[in-house]
Amino acid sequence: MKEAEIRRLLAANLLCVFSVILTAVVPAFFWDGFTVLGTHLAWLCVCSVCVSTLHIILHLVLKPNLSPKRSSFAQKISRFLKCCIYFFMSCILFHAIIVLYGAPLIESVTETFLFAVLLSTFTTLQCLCVLGPNIQAWIRVFSKNGAMSIWESSLQITTTCSILGAWFGAFPIPLDWDRPWQVWPISCSLGATFGYVAGLIIAPLWIHWNRKQLTYKSR
C-alpha cells in the first residue's frame, strides 16, 4: 500500500472536515443572526450544498477507483442522471426510515427531509462518487472484507460513523431538559455531522495503522 495514496486520502478527508467547520462559521459574516442552532434549517442547506460540491470536486480531481475503460459522452450523461436519481431516492428512503423511527409524519416535514438530505450527502453521495450508480459494488463494499481500495475502506468507516452519529443523536430528544438543541432534528443532524467528521479523521489513521494487514485484491 502506497503511503502517497494514504496522504491523498488524508488531505481529501481533512478538506471535508474544514468544509463542515466553515459552513458553521462563514455564513455568519454575511447573514445576520445565522447560527447552527438558531437558523438550523438554513445551516442544513448550506452544509449539504458545500459538502456535496466539495465531494464532487475531489472526485473529479483525485479520481478514486478510476475505471480503465473510457466512457462516451452519452454514457457520462447517463451515469450523471442515474446518480441524481439515486441521490433523490436516497433522500426519500432516509426520510421514510426516519419517520418509521419516530419522527413526525405530518409536522416538521421540511425539517425531516432536510435532515434526510444531509444524511444522503454524508453517505450516499460518497458512494456515488467512489463507486458510481452500481448497487452490486455498494453491496460488495459494505459486506465483510469487501473493500478493494483505501477509498472504499474510508467509505465504509465514514458512512457507518455518520449513521451511528445520527442514531445516537436521537437519544437526548425525549429528555425533559428543555435545551434548544433538543428541538427536532438538531441533535440528530449534529450527531450525524460529528459522526461524519469523526469518520473522516478516523479512516486514514486506521488505514495507516493497519496498512500491513490490509491487502486489497481486484475482483
SS3 39: coil
Q: What is the pTM of this model?
A: 0.91
d(CA 180, CA 55): 31
Q: What are phi and psi of 36, to 5 degrees?
A: -60, -40
- Nearest by Cα to 163 from 197, 132, 219, 122: 122
Q: What are the extents of the domains in the chain?
A: 1-58+73-218
* Residues with Cβ within 8 Å of residue 49, at least 6 apart in sequence: none
pLDDT tens, residue by residue, 189-206: 999 999 999 999 999 999
pLDDT at 116: 97
pLDDT at 97 exceeding the cut of 90:
yes
Tens-digit pLDDT profile for residues 46-72: 999 999 999 999 998 987 765 556 677
Question: What pLDDT sits at residue 219?
Answer: 46
Mean pLDDT of the chain: 90
> Does residue 217 have a pLDDT over 70?
no
| Residue 148: burial class (beta carbons within 10 Å; 0-12, 13-18, 19+) | middle
Rounded Cα distance between 134 and 78, Å, is: 13
Q: Convert the pLDDT of each residue in 34-50 to its tens digit.
A: 999 999 999 999 999 99
* The three three-digit cell numbers of residue 134, written as one number: 452500481
d(CA 13, CA 56): 13
pLDDT of residue 177 exceeding 50, the answer is: yes
